Amino acid sequence: MKFASKWAGLIAVLALAASAPAQDGVKLKRVAKTGDTMVYKMSALVDFQGTEIVFSATVTEKVTNVASDGKITVESKQGDVKVKFGDQEMNQEGMEMTSTVVSAANGAVVELKGDDTGSDAYRRANMMGFIFPDNALTVGHKWSQEYKADTKTGAVAAKAEYEVVAMEKVNSWDSIKIKFSYKETAGDNPASTSGHVWLNTADGSLIKVVTDVKAMPVAGAPMPIDGKITMERTK
């Protein structure tokens, strides 16, 4: 009788769990207001013709405008730039840069402003960007995103694949961890990225990204680069 009563208790618990409503998941949305400021530590490990180059910088992003249609304008300043060749590390004062990105409410890149606004810049922006899906997300959810070619900006057609792998706290921020891959589907030397991104569940802002890049176009470089890029929010 005691054995049977234990099974009865287990069955009751399972029945209760089965009848409980499923979790609604996380509905990602970029919520921003003018003046919001985020600081990131960025590092890049690049293989340049067999030579390992380590690049590091501090990136400060400030929301300068939130339009009535949801478009968000973000000014990004890159400072404290250092480049390391082997054991030699050098400060690169001339490499400080300021750029501005205008994104739609869903995260899609609308316009780039500044010195580096050519087709390669739009290709990089799409490679490192994220378009928010319409539905709520739970662990295990998978989806894809098509990117169309744009003759005006030079952006290349591509496809991205995503999968939610965890809900985690990164430093002080609750985040959703998403595995991703992005591949251009046109061109002689298509670029690609793959890795993980952590987004703030409260406002959709970037908390962290770790990605391997292949054939990424970079202004001033004689050829596309392969490497690993990491960005993590510190403030």
pLDDT tens-place values along the chain, 235 residues long:
444 444 455 444 444 444 444 457 899 999 999 999 999 999 999 887 777 889 999 999 999 999 999 999 999 999 888 888 767 777 666 667 889 999 999 999 999 998 778 899 999 999 999 999 999 999 999 999 999 999 999 999 999 999 999 999 999 999 999 999 999 999 889 999 999 999 999 999 999 999 999 999 987 777 888 999 999 999 9
Work out whether the CA dihedral 104, 107, 109, 112 comes out positive or negative. Answer: positive
| Whole-prediction pTM | 0.85
Q: What pLDDT is attached to residue 19? A: 42
Q: What pLDDT is attached to residue 13? A: 43
Contacts within 8 Å (CB) and 24+ apart, 161-167: 162/133, 164/137, 164/138, 164/139, 164/140, 165/139, 165/196, 166/139, 167/26, 167/139, 167/201
Q: What pLDDT is attached to residue 65? A: 97
Q: What pLDDT is attached to residue 23? A: 55
DSSP 150: B
Rounded to the nearest 10°, the torsion over CA 108, 229, 117, 120 is: -90
Q: What pLDDT is attached to residue 117? A: 86
Distance from the Cα of residue 117 to its chain's centroid: 20
